[in-house]
Structure 1
Amino acid sequence: MATAMRSTRLLRLGFRHVPSLLFRGPLSPSPSPGLGLGLSVGRVGLVHLRCSAAEAGDGRGKKVSARLALAQQVMRDAEERAASAGSDPVPKITMDHVTVSFARSGGAGGQNVNKVNTKVDMRFNVEKAHWLGERIKERILQTEKNRINKDGELVMSSTKTRTQKGNIEDALQKIQAIIDAASYVPPPPSEEQKKKIEKM
């Protein structure tokens, strides 16, 4: 009884003062995994403290695996992107946003081949395109890095038609397709997809 009372007093004091006469045996480490401290008096254990790293949870006290936590984060990000995109129209590129140069077009072209400057080299400065959102610019810079020069310009060439006008339109359409792809925001996950993720 006296030993139990002393044990309670030790717990309250936080082990700041430990009477030397209380213990008949040495301090022994905790046999269980994790950080712990086991104190024993002969064969009678006084207290066992165990500390372990906090694990991710779902807010209801349930443990969540790292893979599920990552999937849930991706799902939340997708919902935020879809909400922030809203119903904004896809930006449209015009001749005011590009610079154009012409060169002689090679290949089949009849009597005008290598005589008329119909090849179009179009340059679009992605970094200075303030009319594009930051997310769109970042995606273009990432996906089209092989077409972007050191000045941050997306270079697009066209020799599709035998006229300058036709090749200008073709180059503009190619750049617009890149902008469309970069502007695409996938829809948020459906309720069915959410349920599947929760069951992981």
Structure 2
Amino acid sequence: MSGETDDPFAASKIAVTGRLFILKDDLTEDFIRASGPGGQNVNKVSTAVQLRFDLAGNETLPEDVKTRAARLAGSRLTLGGEIVLQADRFRTRERNREDALERLLDLLRKATEKPKPRKATKPTLGSKKRRLDAKKQRGQIKKMRGRSSGYDG
């Protein structure tokens, strides 16, 4: 055995993309009791993982990636600048740890993708004509609702 493990938490750096990585020191794990079914085990063993990533204090990610990650995190971002992910899908700690880390890395990978800039376009001549024709037709329908002028009744 060479001493290497497949555990991503064992390394000091965790790869996000080919060039970007996060430091293990920016991650904090808390084990909590999972909700839901689990029999007698559920009230005794803390298998759920609450993974915290210090986004504000991170120095390895560029600012634009941090900004997009904060927007993608939404309500999972604390006022202190931490992304909090809770994983309790599986019955074992290890699977929940892997799940939480993978979800964090997915979020950070999405944040690395720059959004395509929107190009302003003008409406086509045909669409303008169709819009005005629809407005005229609607106006005619409303005009027909008025009182008739030719009846003395």
Q: Do both share a fold (TM > 0.5)?
A: yes
Compared CA separation, residues 162 and 127, structure 1 to 2 (3 A): same
Name the counterpart of 1:130: 59
Q: CA deviation at 1:111?
A: 2.8
Identity rate, percent:
35
User: What is the SS of the residue equivalent to 2:105?
Assistant: helix
Name the counterpart of 1:161: 90
Which is bigger in relative contact order (C-alpha 8 A, separation at least 6)?
A: 2
CA RMSD in angstroms comes to: 2.8
Q: How does 1:1-200 map to 2 (within 5 A)?
A: 89=18, 91-93=20-22, 95-185=24-114
8 Å Cα contact 1:119-1:158 kept in structure 2: yes
Compared CA separation, residues 128 and 94, structure 1 to 2 (3 A): closer
> Aligned pairs, how many?
108
Compared CA separation, residues 110 and 181, structure 1 to 2 (3 A): same
8 Å Cα contact 1:92-1:176 kept in structure 2: no
Q: CA deviation at 1:148?
A: 0.9
Name the counterpart of 1:14: none
- Once the two structures are superposed, what CA deviation does each residue of 1:41-92 show, in whole Å capped at 9, x if it has no partner? xxxxxxxxxxxxxxxxxxxxxxxxxxxxxxxxxxxxxxxxxxxxxxx82534
* Amino acid in the other structure paired with 2:108: I
8 Å Cα contact 2:21-2:61 kept in structure 1: no
Which ranges of structure 1 fall in alignment gaps of 5 or more residues? 1-87
Q: CA deviation at 1:163?
A: 1.1
Distance 1:132 1:175 in 2: 14
Distance 1:164 1:107 in 2: 15
Compared CA separation, residues 186 and 123, structure 1 to 2 (3 A): same
Name the counterpart of 1:52: none
Distance 1:95 1:161 in 2: 23
Instruction: Give the structure with higher Rg (CA).
Output: 1
Distance 1:108 1:134 in 2: 41
* Amino acid in the other structure paired with 1:97: D
User: What is the SS of the residue equivalent to 1:144?
Assistant: helix
User: What is the SS of the residue equivalent to 2:84?
Assistant: strand
Q: Report the TM-score, using the length of structure 1 for normalisation.
A: 0.47
Compared CA separation, residues 169 and 154, structure 1 to 2 (3 A): same
